Structure 1
Amino acid sequence: MSVLDHFLAAGPLTWAALVPAAVLLVHLVPWLLDPHHVRKYPGPLLARFSDAWLGWVAAQGRRSEVVHELHKKHGTFVRLAPNHVSIADPDAIQDVYAHGNGTTKSNFYDAFVSIQRGLFNTRSRPDHARKRKIVSHIFSQKSVLEFEPYTRIHVATLISQWDRMCEQGAKGMSGPEGEGWRGADGRVWLDCLPWFNYLAFDIIGDLAFGAPFGMLLAGADAAPVATSQKAAMESYGQEAAAKVQYFPAVQVLNDRGEYSASMGVLPPHWRPLAVRFIPWYRNGGEQVKRLAGIAIAAVAKRLTAPADRADLLAKLQEGKDDEGNPMGRAELTAEALTQLIAGSDTTSNSSCAITYHLAANPLVQQRLQQELDEVLGNDDEAVATFEQVKRLRYLEAVVNEGMRVHSTSGIGLPRVVPDGGITVLGEFFPGGTVLSVPTYTVHRNRAAWGDDADVFRPERWLERDEKAMQKAFNPFSFGPRSCVGRNLASMELLIILASVLRRYHFVLETPEMKLDIREGFLRKPLECRVGMRRRSV
């Protein structure tokens, strides 16, 4: 009888003993052998033997904060998983993420693939270089200026809605149940987060798909999702494009981010088991499909009636690689999905977080409004232009400080060390080791930011050594895999915040209110309840 036959013939009691023994060996042997020489680095006990610890932390929605506390306890180097070391030092950013160091994205990014690999989640260096060549010119400063009119249209719609609410709120009226605002004490009291979500989705919908989702006008979160995704991907016909259902897009995006960020830290062979046996992961998988369906439906609709307009989709269609080849339908849709996710999340999260910090810091809000009044006070236009606000020093300081303290992308983005290894801060790491630099923690580095690094204080951008701060400022990542859309994000934030803060004054609903955050891939506010009134300029 063969060894295999012995195993197959084993009874339940034998299996009950063998399975735990096998699990123990799978996790204990790598720790004993220590092939990547990481056993010396401190960290949670379970993290030394299993990826389960990081998977559990990610699923709780507080990964950046947990890792930050570990670095405060253990220092610069912390082991997060059997083969993953987090390095909390601004100098490590260059070593881990810069051009020419040979590091590649880890299998963490496989959990973010839905339609096909896009610029964000491709792990192949040649494939990424090809995609970036096609996409990067779209987000040059010159191209971004062509997108400004679309941004300003939707900011004007937001202002129109908020003006209506302020006018009615001043009379003591309250809004419809769906809008969730009330008038009292001369202000409108509302959760501003949904409105920043609606704004961001309508802007990126208009830019990426040729038409807004209509969330601002409806005051509601809803987007069409292709129900027959294969047909919509393969056909340019109206029939395929029309087969949709409506889902709350913001919630779908949030659930997908939490699912992918927690799934991505699990070993690949665990992932099918997690989806099969854990309902939370199973629901997340459905949200991945729905989010892809939003892009598929929007692209299918856009391509049935092409418009003569300078939007993202048109520029993606025009782009060609070194061999003169354009993107195929699936690749085009995948890149449009990437822009939908990145363009909506960064803008809405940052706008909301910065509004919260301004409401919580009246003197900062006052100083910003004074600067805006001096520049925009006599302008009849409700919405600022990029030309008017792009060089306002205090506005830029407020935006930078908001992105520092809030750290929309706060986790350490994992990179695989190439064959031959690399040295980081004097420590050698052999090929195959996974390294990351946690943005949330680096953005609180006291050497770079001062002893008040945990405090929202824009003045530091005008007082301290800007070179040292920029070295530790990493809101869009760094190197060849940095955010390609940073110019667009920066333009949107400057226009949105300048226009909104020039027109309205904000206070917190309760002075002690904290901004509650839940983290998937990005750190998202859950609610931001403020009192808002029109300013007289």
Structure 2
Amino acid sequence: MNLPLSDLGIPSGDTVIKLSTLLPLAVVFAHLVPRSIPGPFLAKFSDIWLGWVSSLGHRSDVVHELHKKYGPLVRLAPNHVSVADPDTLQVVYAHGNGSLKSDFYDAFVSIQSVLEFEPIARSYMVQLFQQWDRLYDSALKGNSGDDGEGGWYGRDGMLWFDCLPLQVAVSHKDAMGSYGSEHECEVIHIPAVQILNRRGEYSASMGVLPPHWRPYARLLPWYRQGSEAVENLAGIAVAAVAKRLTTPTDRVDLLSKLQEGRDDEGRPMGKEELTAEALTQLIAGSDTTSNSSCAISYYIALHPRVQEKLQKELDEASGTEDDGVFTYEQVKRLPYLEAVINEGLRVHSTSSLGLPRVAPEGGLTIKGVHFPQGTVLSVPTYTIHRDTQAWGEDADQFRPERWFERDHAAMQKAFNPFSYGPRACVGRNLASMELLIIISSIFRRYHFVLAEPDKPLDTREGFLRKPLECRVGIKRRGI
């Protein structure tokens, strides 16, 4: 990937003007990190460089280029070092003596309880198929419409549309006003994809700034927009909790599992706690699965041979289900499907950032360098997913067959889609089940082609790496 000089730490004129609003706030930090660790010049003295790069939306790409230039150790801030080494995953993310996720989460993240969500996941797939079939039948007649992101149209016997997630509805102001009351909030449409993206970019760039800088950063126009996105996204969680408390249901979903949870003294969550957890699940659950599904679909459509091989395996595994949606039991052991999904998670890496961890008491020694207590360390998933020793010289390419050809232990050591250690993603079992059902059911029912097969998948990164556009054509398969 060719990156502008500003992304690599060489500011443009416009960048310098914008950075000048924060430079008076800059503080030269005490160097816990050895001065010999290479990196951008500004990163030696200030967190501004990392904050600015994060706001550009391509942090993982920039950090990856820096590792290619400097090697496995790169300074990202005065007290933050990125370590691009699969062996370091176990050192950085298995360490720490802070608070761990409690047993409370066992209520909804174990494999047994995850299976309770399968009927809901399959029912949503049925609804999706009904929608796509309706549009497909209309597209065959040459019709078009404005549903979804950018609308849809019929051409060459196919339905063409953008497979990014659709919009949801909520009014943050009215949701807050009805919070805990018996009155339903007014619902309005907001661009969910845009709100999620803006919120993630804002949080990722704000999170790397020192806390005492953040009130001043919020005065800048870009950060003000991000703050509004945070409020709108919070409104979705507030509205969901308010509706559930006023109109109880017996359906099994993440919110119902949160309501069943009890603390060590047997007390249920309060409204504020429920809302905070619902917001976390909204960001870390639906957003990550939708991004991954879109990216995996793109790569399958980009490689017709992979799609043909996958559909052959799916056809052989299919049963007599009337709704056309696979069960988890049918697809959980399909080797090529698993390889396709894993390869998509590797190449796209929805969570590409190196999540920061603080060196514990006594410090850590990594690749012969000692990092004292308090040093911030991270292992960039995007970069270790391209480690040629683990994945081969073609590590930049999407090729599911590598999962059958290369050393399995070496690949697993460098595979980090859900993070690692005691603070790894609590929803990984649910995400795995959803991806198996989604990808298998969609590609058994439809054949996909890309509208622009020569165009790379464009992404933008906040906390998560998100596809910006994925225009496809689909055709109902004769099954």
Please say whether Structure 1 and Structure 2 have the same fold, judged by a TM-score greater than 0.5.
yes
Q: More helix by proportion, 1 or 2?
A: 1
SS where residue 145 of structure 2 aligns? coil
Give yes or no for contact 1:225–1:291 (8 Å, CA) kept in 2.
no
Q: Give the corresponding residue for 2:161.
A: 190
RMSD value, Cα: 2.0
Q: Give the corresponding residue for 2:96.
A: 102
Q: 1:502–1:26: structure 2 CA closer, same or farther, 3 Å change rule?
A: closer
The 5-angstrom pairing of residues 178-327 of structure 1 reads 180-193=151-164, 197-198=165-166, 221-228=167-174, 231-233=177-179, 235=180, 237-239=181-183, 241-243=184-186, 245-276=188-219, 278-327=220-269
Following superposition, the deviation at residue 274 of structure 1 comes to 0.9
Following superposition, the deviation at residue 379 of structure 1 comes to 4.3
| Counterpart check, 1:344 vs 2:290 | no
Could you tell me how far apart the structure 2 residues matched to 1:503 and 1:244 are? Answer: 34
Following superposition, the deviation at residue 416 of structure 1 comes to 1.1
Cα deviations by residue, 1:170-212 (Å, 9 ceiling, x for unpaired) = 222222466611111111111111xxx24xxxxxxxxxxxxxx
Following superposition, the deviation at residue 420 of structure 1 comes to 1.8
Give yes or no for contact 2:450–2:473 (8 Å, CA) kept in 1.
yes
Contiguous gaps of at least 5 residues in structure 1: 1-19, 104-124, 199-220
| Counterpart check, 1:371 vs 2:367 | no
Could you tell me how far apart the structure 2 residues matched to 1:419 and 1:135 are? Answer: 28
Q: Give the corresponding residue for 1:107.
A: none
Could you tell me how far apart the structure 1 residues matched to 2:130 and 2:34 are? Answer: 56
Could you tell me how far apart the structure 1 residues matched to 2:403 and 2:426 are? Answer: 24
Could you tell me how far apart the structure 2 residues matched to 1:326 and 1:455 are? Answer: 48
TM-score (norm 2): 0.92
| Counterpart check, 1:48 vs 2:44 | yes
Rg comparison, structure with higher value: 1
Q: Give the corresponding residue for 1:60.
A: 56
Could you tell me how far apart the structure 1 residues matched to 2:471 and 2:341 are? Answer: 20
TM-score (norm 1): 0.82
| Counterpart check, 1:402 vs 2:344 | yes
Q: Which amino acid counterpart does residue 441 of structure 2 have in structure 1?
A: S
Give yes or no for contact 1:138–1:315 (8 Å, CA) kept in 2.
yes
Q: Give the corresponding residue for 1:109.
A: none
Following superposition, the deviation at residue 38 of structure 1 comes to 2.5
Could you tell me how far apart the structure 2 residues matched to 1:57 and 1:292 are? Answer: 25
Determine what percentage of the aligned residue pairs are the same residue: 63
SS where residue 144 of structure 2 aligns? coil
Q: Give the corresponding residue for 1:15.
A: none
Could you tell me how far apart the structure 2 residues matched to 1:402 and 1:409 are? Answer: 12
The 5-angstrom pairing of residues 168-183 of structure 1 reads 168-176=138-146, 180-183=151-154
Following superposition, the deviation at residue 467 of structure 1 comes to 1.3
Could you tell me how far apart the structure 2 residues matched to 1:309 and 1:187 are? Answer: 36
Q: 1:344–1:23: structure 2 CA closer, same or farther, 3 Å change rule?
A: closer
Could you tell me how far apart the structure 1 residues matched to 2:268 and 2:132 are? Answer: 42
Could you tell me how far apart the structure 1 residues matched to 2:188 and 2:158 are? Answer: 37
Aligned length: 458
Q: Which amino acid counterpart does residue 89 of structure 2 have in structure 1?
A: I
Could you tell me how far apart the structure 2 residues matched to 1:378 and 1:531 are? Answer: 27
Q: Give the corresponding residue for 1:333.
A: 275
Could you tell me how far apart the structure 2 residues matched to 1:25 and 1:313 are? Answer: 42
Q: Which amino acid counterpart does residue 173 of structure 2 have in structure 1?
A: T
Could you tell me how far apart the structure 2 residues matched to 1:177 and 1:500 are? Answer: 19
Q: Give the corresponding residue for 2:65.
A: 69
Give yes or no for contact 2:352–2:382 (8 Å, CA) kept in 1.
yes
2:439 pairs with one of 497, 509, 512? 497
Q: 1:535–1:243: structure 2 CA closer, same or farther, 3 Å change rule?
A: closer
Q: 1:243–1:183: structure 2 CA closer, same or farther, 3 Å change rule?
A: closer
2:369 pairs with one of 398, 405, 427? 427
Following superposition, the deviation at residue 242 of structure 1 comes to 2.1
Cα deviations by residue, 1:18-69 (Å, 9 ceiling, x for unpaired) = xx9x9789645x4xx63x1331100001111111111111011000000000
Q: 1:427–1:499: structure 2 CA closer, same or farther, 3 Å change rule?
A: same
Q: Which amino acid counterpart does residue 424 of structure 2 have in structure 1?
A: S
Could you tell me how far apart the structure 1 residues matched to 2:24 and 2:146 are? Answer: 58
